[in-house]
A and B are shown apart, each in its own frame.
Chain A
Amino acid sequence: MKPASFEYLRAGSVEETLALLGKHRDAAILAGGQSLLAMMNMRAATPSHLIDISGVGALREIRLEGDTLVLGALTRHVDLEGSDTVETAAPLLREAAGQLAHPAIRNKGTIGGSLALADPAAELPACILALGATLRATGPSGIRDIAAEDFFEGAFTTALGENEVLTEIRCPAAAGTRTSYEKLARRHGDYGLVGLAARAEVRDGRLHAPRLAFFAITDRATLAHSAAACLDGKDLGDAVLEKACAALADDLDAVGQPGCSAPAKLHLARVLLRRAVARLLG
């Protein structure tokens, strides 16, 4: 299908974006457009205005600030894939980006777009949750930092205010941690049936302070706190793994989809948890 009619506006800076957002109540921000334009083509989204921020060069930068990896919101998936800085500081993001959708989509899709849209099946929200990143938003009253844990409020719903724009993603660098990225999909490049982005410190054959971020199972990217507590610092024998897998039922309020019921998703989440633990211990 074709999208409903809208007005197209270009913003050359963050300030201009905010001014346009303030003026048009029903506007949507266009970054890479790889999800938004698909939704508009299906008329699942019908914004009155599109504010194209893809020309805001300041939002494209990838840099290190001390121990923090700073990603401009317009960092594309292909940029994550090809960046040595990202590989060193947050290899999880590079691994996830390299498998995200398809090459032609990775050439346009952005991390900020993926996070701000908050599709429950999207990969990058779970990754930044696993990494314990902070999202920086800019609004009329200035800059606001939002912890990844507080950012995703539900399906396609985030803590971003109507007049705010996501400008930066700030990830603590990976020093001393290992990460694992697992996704089950029917076809390569499809949205996952279930996915898991995980990070932990690994010492003496044990996982410490593991962060297990699941996607495509509940209404948002979700940290499995009880399962993580079962694993934290423990000798990872069968009984402990079994307990952690059982705990996922408390952590994940699974939502089924056609062809994959909620119980099936929970089962697959347990499969991925075991794989992730094995990989982290690697």
Chain B
Amino acid sequence: MASEIEIKLKVNGEPVSARVEARLSLVDFLREKLHLTGSHVGCEHGVCGACTVRLDGEIVRGCLTLAAQADGAEVTSIEGASDSGEIADLQAAFHERNALQCGFCTPAMLLSADALLKRQPAPSREEIRLWLSGNYCRCTGYHAIVDAVASVAEARRNNSV
């Protein structure tokens, strides 16, 4: 029977094969099987956004995606995005502007913000707020996060011309 299944995928560029329980979520797979604990588990029903990871280049909820569904896919977690340096500017801006306190939401916030800037290089503050409304932060009140994302948007635009 298939309550356990074999999956093969790429995680942060590395090939991974595993036998997983069908009910294992992608975020639990990353955390518990691969010990990539930068992706966090919050509400487990798609509301808080703390589990955000990239699946084939698009951000998804790691709690509303089964590990089984990632078979054959490329997954990027915060560890991969961080190591590659591709979000170093966002990380620096979050640091500089105190856009985190406890840091629980930060990995997902960074991946989400990066997805926004790739899609919309010149977002207004309102657009940044709407986009990040799917990522809850219980500490900062969001202002510093919006500041950080807006400053990176501007810097990336200036660098690309």
Contact A8 B46 (CB under 8 A): no
A40 to chain B, nearest CB (A): 8
Q: Using Cβ atoms and an 8 Å threshold, which residues of chain A touch B60?
A: 104, 107-108
Q: B145 near A: Cβ within 8 Å?
A: no
Question: Is the pair A103, B112 in contact by a Cβ cutoff of 8 Å?
Answer: yes
A149-164 interface code vs B (CB 8 A; 1 in, 0 out): 0000000000000000
Cα(A52)–Cα(B45), bound, Å: 19
User: Do B66 and A7 touch (CB < 8 A)?
Assistant: no
Residue contact A52 to B68, C-beta cutoff 8 Å: yes
Digitize A39-54: 1 where CB-to-B-CB distance is under 8 Å, 0 elsewhere. 0111000000010101
A-B residue pairs, 10 tightest by C-beta: A102-B134, A8-B22, A38-B45, A188-B133, A107-B58, A104-B59, A37-B64, A3-B23, A41-B44, A7-B2
- B7 CB to closest chain A CB (Å) equals 10
Max chain B Cβ within 10 angstroms of own Cβ: one of A34, A50, A102? A102
| B residues lining the A interface (CB < 8 Å) | 1-3, 5, 21-23, 25, 28, 44-46, 49, 52, 55, 58-61, 63-66, 68-69, 112, 115-116, 129-131, 133-135
In the complex with contacts A8-B2, A102-B133, A38-B22 CB distance below 8 A: no
Known A-B contacts A7-B1, A187-B133, A188-B130; the reply to A105 vs B46 at CB < 8 A is yes
Q: Which residues of A contact B23 (CB under 8 A)?
A: 2-6, 40
Contact A7:B22 (CB < 8 A) given known A33-B66, A38-B46, A104-B52: yes
Tally chain A residues at the interface, Cβ within 8 Å.
31
Contact (Cβ within 8 A) A34 B61: yes
- Give 11 CB contacts A-B under 8 Å: A2-B25, A2-B44, A4-B23, A5-B3, A5-B21, A6-B3, A38-B46, A40-B23, A41-B63, A103-B112, A107-B59
Nearest chain-B residue to A1 (Cβ)?
Answer: B44
Contact assessment for A102 and B49 in the assembled complex, using a CB-CB cutoff below 8 Å: yes
